[in-house]
Amino acid sequence: MKRCPTCQKTFTEEHLSFCVDDGTPLVTIDPRDDEATVVRSTAAEGSPERQRKTWPWVLGVLALLFIVLGGLGIAAVVLLPRVMRASNTNANLNNANVERRNNSNGNLNSTNSDSADSNANNSTEEDTTPPPTDEAQVLLALTDLEHEWTVANINADKKKLDRILADDYVGVTDGRAVGKAEYLKTIQRDTLIQKWNFEDLKVNLSSDRATLTGTLRVEVKNEQGQIQPAGFAFTDKFVWRDGRWQATSSEVKLLKE
């Protein structure tokens, strides 16, 4: 067998001395050496050594792929609940915000309504309703007002007393004069009076002024727990102002019986 050293073609014809392609003198070769070379080359490609070199790469790629997929799975397991919780939290926050806005609007509406009522109650416009002229009706109205006044005194109801008493009110008890501000400041709840009753009520009506006289009978519990009666003569004066009767003065004396 012969080979062309230029084009590396092999020829089996014994009579050829030159390459038929380029005319290069052929070189005789031993077929066994060439076969051995071919066999060794082929064997080397599939040799265990080459396989040993290839498998680590394959295993490395598979391991990397496994790690990536495993990491994605773990991330999904960890992050998915968080995402869901975050979504639920956002939804709850949105609902809470809507509810707060609704409640806020409702409260604002309620506040506006209350303000309107308050403005209506505290209106600076004076009630110009004329005073009543029937003494009998005035006597009934002032009697009810006296009962209301007594209850407010017993309970120290300053809000009610502030409405009953005129701003220029002056009360006299046992010769001592007390204005409205001091009256409201010093009033205290009375737990001793058990019962009360008005007697001999008389009214003197003059236009928008009225004077009510009478006797207040009370039953008082003493320190020993015994009930003792007491009586007071009083003279209360009223003025018709802002559509209602308001007390301008009061004088009370203890009856000695």
Structural domain contains residue 219:
yes
Structural domain contains residue 91:
no
pLDDT, tens digit only, all 257 positions of the chain: 788 888 888 877 777 777 777 777 877 877 665 544 443 434 344 455 555 556 666 666 676 766 656 655 554 444 445 545 544 545 444 554 444 444 434 443 444 444 444 444 445 577 889 999 999 999 999 999 999 999 999 999 999 999 999 999 999 977 889 999 999 999 999 888 889 999 999 999 999 999 999 999 999 888 888 888 999 999 999 999 999 999 999 999 989 86
Contact 143, 222 (CB under 8 A): no
**Residues 36, 42, 48: CA angle, nearest 5 degrees:** 115
- CA 84 to each of CA 78, 90, 91: distance values in angstroms, whole numbers, following the listed order: 11, 10, 10
Residue 141: CATH number of its domain: 3.10.450.50
Q: What is the Cα–Cα distance from 24 to 3, expressed in whole angstroms?
A: 10
- The number of distinct structural domains making up the chain is 2
Structural domain contains residue 81:
no
DSSP H stretches of helix in the chain:
31-45, 48-121, 135-155, 158-164, 180-186
Q: What is the Cα–Cα distance from 230 to 220, expressed in whole angstroms?
A: 7
Q: What is the Cα–Cα distance from 156 to 208, expressed in whole angstroms?
A: 28
Structural domain contains residue 204:
yes
Structural domain contains residue 200:
yes
The CA R_g of the chain, rounded to the nearest whole Å, is 58
Q: Which structural domain range is residue 204 located in?
A: 135-254
Q: What is the Cα–Cα distance from 199 to 215, expressed in whole angstroms?
A: 5
pLDDT number for residue 57: 67
Q: Is the pTM of this model over 0.75?
A: no
Structural domain contains residue 249:
yes
Structural domain contains residue 83:
no
Q: What is the Cα–Cα distance from 35 to 200, expressed in whole angstroms?
A: 152
Q: CA nearest 146: which of 232, 229, 208, 255?
A: 232
Structural domain contains residue 57:
no
Residues 250 and 139 in one domain: yes
